[in-house]
Amino acid sequence: MHLIAPAETRLKEVVEYFSSPGLKDRKTFGATATKKAELRRSLNQIITREVVDAHTGLGILATYENSLDQAIEHFRIAYNFSNKDDISSLNYANSLFLNGRHNEAFPVYKNAIEKNPTSVDMFREICRALIGFCYLEELNEIAQCVKSKEDPYSPEYKKEIELNLNTLSFLKKINVDVGLFRKYQMAIDRVFFKYFNITTSFETEIYYDDERSILTFSLNLPISDVSKKHEDLLGDMNDELQDEIIRLRKSNDPVLREKIKEMSNGLCFYFSLPDSYGDELNNVC
- What's the angle, vertex CA 180, arms to CA 175 and CA 181, rounded to 5? 85
Contact 66, 48 (CB under 8 A): no
Tell me the C-alpha distance between 117 and 65, whole Å. 34
The torsion defined by the Cα of 121, 126, 129 and 135, in degrees rounded to 10, comes to -130
> What is the pLDDT at residue 5?
43
Other Cβ atoms closer than 10 A to 159: 11
CA-based nearest residue to 251, from 243, 242, 260: 260
Classify 9-115 by CATH class.
mainly alpha
Which residues, in sequence order, are bridge partners of residue 269?
217
Instruction: Give the predicted TM-score (pTM) of the model.
Output: 0.89
pLDDT at res. 280: 53
Q: What are phi and psi of 118, to 5 degrees?
A: -95, 0
State how far the Cα of 166 lies from the Cα of 248, in Å rounded to an integer: 25
Q: What is the pLDDT of residue 32?
A: 93
Residue ranges per domain, the chain?
Answer: 9-115, 174-284
pLDDT under 70 in the chain at which residues? Answer: 1-8, 276-285
Residue 239, burial from CB neighbour count under 10 angstroms (0-12, 13-18, 19+): exposed
Determine contact, residues 75/56, Cβ cutoff 8 Å.
yes
What is the pLDDT at residue 225?
81
Q: Residue 6: what pLDDT?
A: 42
Distance CA(137)–CA(135), nearest Å, equals 6
Residue 131: DSSP 8-state: G
Give residue 116's pLDDT: 92
pLDDT (0 to 100) of residue 273 = 93
In DSSP terms, 205 is beta-bridged to 218
